[in-house]
Amino acid sequence: MCLAVPVRVEALVDEDQALVELGGVKKHISIALLEDVQVGDYVILHVGYALSKLSEEEAQKTLELFSQMHQI
């Protein structure tokens, strides 16, 4: 099974890497597959690569569902 999760871009490291945060964990990821990623954007992360951008609203909905699953 593959899992991709929304993460918020905290900082741009260079043109191909960003620092993201998910649940208090910060990690460097590749943003080489996307254009025009900015600090504050939400991206879908899969195995270290940002695959697409998404709205904050959609990201929050998905993160809330993950949170609910964790509580089960």
Q: What is the CATH number of the domain that holds 56?
A: 2.30.30.140
pLDDT at position 9 over 80: yes
This prediction's pTM: 0.86
pLDDT digit string, tens, across residues 26-61: 999 999 999 999 999 999 999 999 999 999 999 989
Tell me what the mean pLDDT of segment 14-27 comes to. 92
Say how many domains are in the chain.
1
Separation between Cα atoms, residue 56 and residue 71, nearest integer Å: 23
Q: What are the angstrom distances between the C-alpha of 7 and each of 14, 22, 47, 49, 72?
A: 18, 6, 12, 11, 22
CB 9 within 8 A of CB 37: yes
d(CA 16, CA 56): 22
Structural domain for 33, as ranges: 5-70
